Amino acid sequence: MRVVTHQDWSATTCRRNDAAQGPQRLYPTNATSVEVLQLELHNDRVDLESPLRTIASPVEAEVLRVLAGADTEFGASQVHRLVDSGSAYGVRKALARLSETGLVTTTQHGNYSFWRGNRDHVLWPAVQAAVDARQTIIDRLQARLTEHGEVAAYLYGSFARRTAGPDSDVDVLVVHPDESPHDAILDIASDIGEAITTWTGNVGHVYSATRSELREALERGEPVALSIRGEAVTVVGPPFGRLLDQLGDGESACA
């Protein structure tokens, strides 16, 4: 676990952590406003954008994602049009393989085969859980953060943009009331970061700021603050735009 406090994210001078600790990352070196607790617990990771790839081959994962999306029959060509990757041949091969396992059922209509996810299969709940993993992470974060009282929290970064992969982190901004004790802020960051890693195996980055610190970071145009403004996904609290209105000059300062 690495704790870095009062980081100025507008810094242009950075240092790299020791490669022996895991994948290299850049950290700003000069300290000012925004509290950062960076948890680097490198375990097996979930492909956050396509969680099924954690338990299936890429093409099979895409096929299962499509079939899990609607309880209806699909032709192989329909499945191929809906997947994000894989050739027509690869999709047909994946459908045949999944049919052998019983996770997918096959029905003949004339000369054509149609495929449906077998929701009665004993392993289908695992498939559905993987498909729903993104929302499950958000729901768990919401429940966990609600336990910590009057905080607002927002996802940002690749997970918020839906571009995350197995090496991606889950980035969360937690905004605290100005009177919040320093130790309490760090305790909440530690709890949330460790929870993310426990749930997913991915690194949990929790960036914590009081309302005043966030306003000041926006006024200075700090890159991370501006990035959050552009892509924030609300977990708890008001939408980020409304929070900026509540902060007074924050929105106009960073527009």
pLDDT tens digits, one per residue of 72-82: 999 999 999 99
State the number of CA atoms in the 13 A half-sphere of 81 facing the CB. 5
Whether residue 246 sits in one domain with residue 222: yes
* Domain residue limits at 209: 2-48+132-254
Whether residue 41 sits in one domain with residue 114: no
Whether residue 43 sits in one domain with residue 93: no
What's the pLDDT band for 47 if we cut at 50, 70, 90?
low
**Residue (of 15, 91, 33) closest to 209 by Cα position:** 33
Instruction: Count the neighbouring beta carbons within 10 Å of the beta carbon of residue 183.
Output: 8
SS3 43: coil
Give me the number of domains the chain comprises.
2
What CA–CA distance (Å, rounded) separates 226 from 146? 25
> For residues 108-142, b (16+ Cβ closer than 10 Å) or e, as one string?
eeeeebbbebbeeeeebeebeebbebbeebeebbe
pTM greater than 0.75 (yes/no): no
CATH code, 117:
1.10.10.10
**Residue (of 161, 139, 127, 157) closest to 51 by Cα position:** 127
Whether residue 121 sits in one domain with residue 136: no
**Residue (of 148, 140, 150, 157) closest to 237 by Cα position:** 150
Instruction: Please answer whether residues 48 and 168 qualify as being in contact, where contact means their C-beta atoms are separated by less than 8 angstroms.
Output: yes
User: What are the tens digits of pLDDT across the range 142-196?
Assistant: 999 999 988 999 999 989 988 877 778 899 999 999 999 999 999 999 999 999 9
